[in-house]
């Protein structure tokens, strides 16, 4: 993976905790996709319904979409300066602006500006049932412990994303209509577009429909609070390599766990 991909994935995971970044943003994903994690980047390898049709027949996985939408944003802790310029205010040349603008200046390389308006979340609502089937697949040696399952998907109504390439990086975003007095990033219906891009290593500007973030579940040992911290309920024995998945699962109290909540 590129350094930009890892930077982006690590920073967003640190910020959103239970949500992982989809790299590249907008890559097509479906609930029930499974694969492995490379660092904090999900690499899809298949889909539950397609690869295990007997265990996951049509309509077994129940999907639910949250009715409300929200505004998700992230800016690197330092090195990102955002200025909103209202329509009619003086621009850099001292001339009144014909349209409202937003200026983002980056103070160092690898700083991130992430803004997603009108986000909706679709999720698997019967995760426990899905986990029961995966337990069975694991016991039959049909499931790898490294696999994660996409159980939550966040789709944005509008996305603006930029990663700086130097300490002099900047972007300017302009409202598409001169009737807009002030840019409101939380308003997904407001048309926006890049008018100036300087020394930007990676950028995305999309009106909507991108899958930006995902929640993942994995079949792994459960955890139990012991003393002043949390430790696995049990540890594999030295002879674990000679044991079947069914034996390991019974020893380790394996569970289908939402990653980020451990």
φ and ψ of 27, to 5 deg: -55, 135
Confidence grade of residue 77 (pLDDT, cut at 50, 70, 90): confident
Q: Are the C-beta atoms of residues 71 and 186 closer than 8 Å to each other?
A: yes
Confidence grade of residue 53 (pLDDT, cut at 50, 70, 90): very high
Question: Which contiguous run of DSSP H or E holds residue 124?
Answer: strand 112-124
pLDDT score for 228: 39
Domain range spanning residue 150?
3-258
pLDDT score for 225: 38
Predicted structure pTM score: 0.85
Number of domains in the chain: 1
Q: Give residue-wise pLDDT tens across range 114-149.
A: 999 999 999 999 999 999 999 999 999 999 999 999
Q: Are the C-beta atoms of residues 218 and 228 closer than 8 Å to each other?
A: no
pLDDT score for 97: 84
Alpha-carbon distance of 31 to 48, in angstroms, equals: 9
Q: Are the C-beta atoms of residues 100 and 174 closer than 8 Å to each other?
A: yes
Chain mean pLDDT for the chain:
87
Cα 139 to the center of its chain, rounded Å:
30
Read off the pLDDT of each residue in 194-223 and give the average, rounded to a whole number: 90
Read off the pLDDT of each residue in 70-93 and give the average, rounded to a whole number: 89
- Does 237 have pLDDT greater than 80? no
- Does 217 have pLDDT greater than 60? yes
φ and ψ of 164, to 5 deg: -75, 150
Confidence grade of residue 48 (pLDDT, cut at 50, 70, 90): very high
């Amino acid at each position: 993976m590129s350094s930009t991909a890892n930077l982006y994935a690590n920073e967003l995971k640190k910020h959103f905790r239970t949500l992982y970044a989809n790299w590249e943003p907008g890559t097509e994903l479906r609930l029930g996709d499974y694969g492995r994690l490379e660092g904090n980047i999900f690499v899809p390898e298949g889909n539950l319904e397609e690869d295990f049709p007997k265990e996951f027949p049509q309509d077994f996985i129940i999907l639910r979409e949250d009715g409300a939408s929200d505004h998700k944003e992230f800016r690197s802790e330092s090195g990102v300066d955002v200025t909103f310029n209202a329509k009619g205010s003086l621009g850099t040349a001292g001339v009144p602006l014909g349209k409202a603008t937003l200026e983002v200046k980056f103070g160092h390389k690898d700083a991130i500006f992430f803004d997603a308006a009108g986000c909706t979340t679709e999720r698997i609502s019967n995760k426990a049932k899905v986990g029961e089937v995966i337990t069975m697949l694991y016991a039959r040696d049909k499931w790898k412990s490294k696999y994660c399952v996409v159980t939550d998907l966040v789709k944005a109504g509008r996305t603006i994303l930029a990663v700086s390439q130097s300490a002099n990086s900047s972007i300017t975003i302009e409202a598409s209509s001169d009737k807009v007095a002030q840019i409101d990033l939380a308003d997904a219906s407001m048309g926006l577009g890049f008018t100036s891009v300087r020394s930007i290593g990676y950028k995305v500007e999309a009106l909507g429909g991108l899958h930006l973030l995902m929640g993942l579940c994995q079949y792994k040992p459960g955890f139990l609070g012991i003393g002043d911290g949390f430790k696995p309920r049990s540890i594999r024995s030295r002879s674990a390599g000679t044991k079947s998945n069914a034996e390991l699962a019974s020893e380790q109290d394996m569970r289908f766990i939402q990653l980020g909540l451990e």
